[in-house]
Amino acid sequence: MLELKNIVFDVAVEEGSSKTKRIIDNISLTIPDDKFVVVTGPNGGGKSTLAKLIMGIETPTSGQILFDGTDVTEMSITDRAKLGIGYGFQQPSRFKGMKVKKLLEIAAGKRLPMLACNEYLSKVGLCSANYLTREVDKSLSGGELKRIEIATLLAADPKLAIYDEPEAGIDLWSFDRLTQTFEAVYKQGNGHSIIIISHQERIIELADDIVCLRDGQIEAAGPAEEIIPQLGLSRKENDYCSFTQPPDLHLTTISTTC
Amino acid sequence: MSVDLSPIDADLLKTLTNVHGIPEGAYNIRKDGELLTRHSSANIEIATKTDYPGIDIRIKDGTKGERVYIPVIVSKAGIKDVVYNTFYIGDNCDVDIIAGCGIHNDSHQASEHDGIHTFHIGKNSRVKYIERHYGEGSGTGDRILNPVTTVYQDENSFCEMEMTQIRGVTSTVRDTDAELGAGAKLVLTEKLLTDGDQKATSNMNIRLIGENSNVQIISRSVAQDNSVQIFNPLVAGEAACHGHVQCDAIIMGKAVVKAIPGIEAAHEDAQLVHEAAIGKIAGDQIIKLMTLGLTEEEAEQEILDDFLN
Ligand SMILES: Nc1ncnc2c1ncn2[C@@H]1O[C@H](COP(=O)(O)OP(=O)(O)O)[C@@H](O)[C@H]1O
Ligand SMILES: [Mg+2]
């Protein structure tokens, strides 16, 4: 269980300045085990910052973060990772010379057989085994990199996984595969929780709970069925059908069955 | 042949060759400025030079799938060893050459090895050359390696050179020259790591003489502490040819890296490109690995290991 208590995060308006700007404004939030939570809201609302505060990449100006009852507010990123918090970056890093397989193994904390690696990759719609020996560098497209980032979090399998806009840069077939994966992995009731930062209706619909952040504050939070109507999503039936059967696709090169 | 190796020598040798003990096939192992043991094979003949210290390695036309090991180990201090090794590789060969020098120095005296390597690569031959340079030991004595490598590539030959200075070399000046005939291709990868007050200079001069010759130079280096590295790769295109030079360095502490990649085109169809990038490890790379449970130090080491893989 994750508990955020009165989290405030201020940053200097500019470097060296004593004037500050409030990015996260007194947020309190509890995420019990076995929950699928979607955090949504306008760009600049503080979603990524909140995730970084939970992971320990940023430290709150004030407030307290508890994970399974342990106060992790001052804890390092590494120690939080070891406790079971994981974060998939909105903008993943590239590593010259590091093979995809190696990154997955670091994430899993152990050597992985090829088969296991391929399974993680296929869960994010990367169907070719060639990816394992590719380097996590400029040679990967943004969408490929993003999917590998998601695969590392699947391999790490933390007790609390935070995905930051996993849909960004991902084509619609892979996105389909991805939503299935999120659903399958996190609806199995093994005590793990997932927080997905997303604007995607399809992901929002998977949520147990929804948190809407705006200007660093919680604008709305609660069970999905209560919040979705307030989000004003222009939802139509069969909105996504056109995505799953697109007209002119290279269906031979993009396998959707892996 | 059975040879007694001290544990220090055996470790040095393994670092260079990646095999335990004396390798299979053709080899020439040099220790402290003298021949330790040698073996020629049916297709690969190794003979002592008559004019200079060193060896001539003759590889017969059509030799395929064979290896030659010519490691040098120096575990005695105060030695300055200069050795000339000349390879005559016939036509239509496919061979691997494993070279390198490991210095163990526990004294205050300097140890130096200067390997002057020349390669004549015949038509249509493929050569893979792996060279590792490594220094260790508790002494303050300098460990110096000044290799000179010259490659002559005949028509349609392919040469892949992977030259690595692993660690512990106090000072190095590397000179690598090549001349490529028509259709010849050279892929030259150089990896360097310096720390402490070490200095490394790498000069390269590659001349693309024949039509459709092609060179790719990849330099990856890590400079730590107060070390200094200087790169001077030059590619000259004298025919319709391709050349690509890429220098990539990670800089840490107070280290200094200068990369001066040069290209010279003397033919209108010479296509030459160079790139150079020097920077520290990005903070977001370290943070990413920390979110996967590595400590900051482990993350940094992982990034360096992969960069130099
Ligand atoms: N370290 C920081 N320094 C200055 N401004 C920051 C910092 N971190 C976040 N911000 C600002 O805080 C706001 C929220 O950013 P972010 O959390 O990335 O929003 P979201 O993910 O919801 O789009 C943005 O205006 C951003 O520019
Ligand atoms: Mg964001």
What ipTM describes this predicted complex?
0.89
Task: Please list every residue in chain A whose beta carbon sits closer than 8 Å to the beta carbon of residue B292.
Answer: 81, 86, 106-107, 109, 152, 156
Touching check for B254 and chain A: CB below 8 Å? no
CB-CB under 8 Å, A95 with B306:
yes
Smallest CA–CA separation between A87 and chain B, in Å? 7
**Conformational region of residue A129, where left means phi above 0, alpha means psi within -120 to 50, and beta covers everything else:** alpha
Cα–ligand 1 centroid distance for A80 (angstroms): 22
Per-residue pLDDT of A105-163, as tens digits, reads 999 999 999 999 999 999 998 888 889 999 999 999 999 999 999 999 999 999 999 99
Secondary structure element (H or E) that encloses residue A69, with its range: none
**Calpha distance B270→B241 (Å, rounded):** 5
Per-residue pLDDT of A171-193, as tens digits, reads 877 888 889 999 888 777 788 99
> Which residue's alpha carbon is at the smallest distance from atom 26 of ligand 1?
A44
- B102 Cβ contact partners less than 8 Å away, ≥ 6 residues apart: B12, B13, B15, B16, B71, B72, B73, B74, B132, B133, B134, B135, B136
**pLDDT at residue A245 greater than cutoff 80:** no
Query: Quick one: average pLDDT of B286-291?
Result: 98
Q: Which of B164, B251, B285, B288 to mutate to test the interface with A (most CBs of A within 10 A)?
A: B288
Per-residue pLDDT of A38-75, as tens digits, reads 999 999 999 999 999 999 999 999 999 999 999 999 99
Cα–ligand 1 centroid distance for A23 (angstroms): 6
**Calpha distance A136→B285 (Å, rounded):** 11
Per-residue pLDDT of B143-188, as tens digits, reads 999 999 999 999 999 999 999 998 899 999 999 999 999 999 999 9
Residues in contact with ligand 1 by the CB-under-6-Å rule are A 11, 23, 43-49
Q: Which residues pair with A120 in a beta bridge?
A: none
Ligand (nearest to CA of A42): 1
CB-CB under 8 Å, B291 with A77:
yes
Q: What is the pLDDT of residue A220?
A: 92
Smallest CA–CA separation between A37 and chain B, in Å? 20
- A115 Cβ contact partners less than 8 Å away, ≥ 6 residues apart: none
At A92, is the secondary structure helix, strand, or coil?
coil
Per-residue pLDDT of B224-235, as tens digits, reads 999 999 999 999
Indicate the pLDDT class of residue A250, thresholds 50, 70 and 90.
very low
Query: Quick one: average pLDDT of A216-230?
Result: 92
Nearest to A95 among B285, B294, B295 (CB): B285
Ligand (nearest to CA of A27): 1
Give the A-side interface with B, CB within 8 Å.
55, 57, 76-78, 81-82, 86-87, 89, 92-99, 102, 106-107, 109, 152, 156
User: Residue A42 CA: which ligand 1 atom is closest?
Assistant: 22
CB B114 within 8 A of CB B147: yes
**Calpha distance B74→B190 (Å, rounded):** 22
Annotate chain B with three-state secondary structure: CCCCCCHHHHHHHHHHHCCCCCCCCEEEEEECCEEEEEECCCCEEEEECCCCCEEEEEECCCCEEEEEEEEEEECCCCCEEEEEEEEEECCCCEEEEEEEEEEECCCCCCEEEEEEEEEEECCCCEEEEEEEEEEECCCCCCEEECCEEEEEECCCCEEEEEEEEEECCCEEEEEEEEEECCCCEEEEEEEEEECCCCEEEEEEEEEECCCCEEEEEEEEEEECCCCEEEEEEEEEECCCEEEEEEEEEEECCCCEEEECCEEEECCCCEEEEEEEEEECCCHHHHHHHHHCCCCHHHHHHHHHHHHHC
Query: Quick one: average pLDDT of A203-217?
Result: 94
Q: How many CB pairs under 8 A join A and B?
A: 57
> Which residue's alpha carbon is at the smallest distance from atom 8 of ligand 1?
A49
Q: What is the pLDDT of residue B272?
A: 97
Q: What is the pLDDT of residue B306?
A: 95
CB-CB under 8 Å, B294 with A55:
no
Query: Quick one: average pLDDT of A233-254?
Result: 39
User: Residue A47 CA: which ligand 1 atom is closest?
Assistant: 22
- A247 Cβ contact partners less than 8 Å away, ≥ 6 residues apart: none
Smallest CA–CA separation between B181 and chain A, in Å? 31
Which tokens hold the place of A45? 């609302």
User: Residue A50 CA: which ligand 1 atom is closest?
Assistant: 17
Indicate the pLDDT class of residue B3, thresholds 50, 70 and 90.
confident
Query: Quick one: average pLDDT of A9-14?
Result: 94
> Which residue's alpha carbon is at the smallest distance from atom 3 of ligand 1?
A11
Lowest mean pLDDT among A56-65, A241-250, B110-119, B275-284: A241-250
- Which is more confident, B22 or B69? B69
Q: What is the pLDDT of residue A240?
A: 33
Which tokens hold the place of B74? 């120096």
Q: What is the pLDDT of residue B55?
A: 96
Touching check for B307 and chain A: CB below 8 Å? yes
Q: What is the pLDDT of residue A86?
A: 98
> Which residue's alpha carbon is at the smallest distance from atom 16 of ligand 1?
A46
Query: Quick one: average pLDDT of B5-24?
Result: 88
Per-residue pLDDT of B55-90, as tens digits, reads 999 999 999 999 999 999 998 888 899 999 999 999
Query: What Rg value do the Cα atoms of chain B yield, rounded?
Result: 20
User: Residue A51 CA: which ligand 1 atom is closest?
Assistant: 17
Cα–ligand 1 centroid distance for B133 (angstroms): 47
In terms of Cα–Cα distance, which of B196, B81, B70, B74 is closest to B135? B74
CA angle B160, A140, A90 (to 5 degrees): 145
CB-CB under 8 Å, A95 with B293:
no
